[in-house]
Amino acid sequence: MTDRELRSAIIQACLEMNRNGLNQGTSGNISARLEAGLLITPSGLPYEALQPEDIVFLDMQGRPEGRWKPSSEWRFHRDILHARPEAGAVVHVHSPYATALAILGRGIPAIHYMIAAAGGPTIRCAPYATFGSEALSQYALEALEGRSACLLANHGMIAVGADLAKALWLAGEVETLARQYHACLQVGEPVILSDAEIARVVEKFRSYGPKAQDTAPPTSG
Ligand SMILES: [Zn+2]
């Protein structure tokens, strides 16, 4: 993808996450790796009005280029892309169910095999820290250890992917898991799958074959 195509893809992803209810207003933000830095949504501009040139380029030191300020959460986007060379994109949203669990300080256990899409048997909830802070970024990196998604206490969630489509898809899966877990908690104690079973599913997802890297991720069900 060229610089401009990637900027347009970020805008499309923003519009999509608002359409599908993952996000509302401009509370969420998206970044994608570009050369020796990243492209990230600007702070506070409505997605509907975004033009490719409004997307902000940041180098890995966090220095912005362009006329707008980067998202206030630029720090964890930069830190995740810096720490995870395999990651190409980061999606952050305050989606209702994931955020509700994060407000309860609960991560998501292995209530469904699809949790393997996030890399392991749990989706952790990072401790609370003020938005945009270095502490929040540190907590997020720790919660993401060996995983590609985490919740942020009293805040929202982060999903990481090899590219924009995969990160956005994973954010949707995390929200679905959060919704299922929330529904279970209304009734009783959910049955949790074993670590061994989730390890098996992680492996199965991986072995969809070399094509899996270039095609859409598996759908639930
Ligand atoms: Zn946020």
Instruction: Determine the Cα angle at 74 with ends 70 and 76, to 5°.
Output: 175
What average pLDDT does the segment 192-215 reach?
Answer: 80
Q: Rounded CA gap, 42 and 55, in Å?
A: 6
Residue 214's pLDDT is 46
Domain carrying residue 17: 3-205
Q: Tell me the C-alpha to C-alpha distance, in Å, between residue 29 and each of 148, 153, 206.
A: 16, 17, 28
Residue 75 lies in a domain: yes
Residue 215 lies in a domain: no
Q: What CATH number is associated with residue 127?
A: 3.40.225.10
Residue 151 lies in a domain: yes
Split into its structural domains, the chain has a count of 1
What average pLDDT does the segment 163-191 reach?
Answer: 97
* Cα 132 to ligand 1 centre (Å): 8
142 a catalytic residue: no
Active-site hit among 48, 73, 134, 175: 73
Query: Which residues, 6+ apart, have CB-to-CB distance to 187 below 8 Å?
Result: none
* Cα 221 to ligand 1 centre (Å): 29
Residue 23 lies in a domain: yes
* Cα 88 to ligand 1 centre (Å): 19
| Mean pLDDT for all residues in the chain | 93
* Cα 30 to ligand 1 centre (Å): 11
Residue 24's pLDDT is 87
Residue 145 lies in a domain: yes
Give pLDDT tens digits for 17-47.
Answer: 999 999 988 899 999 999 899 999 999 899 9
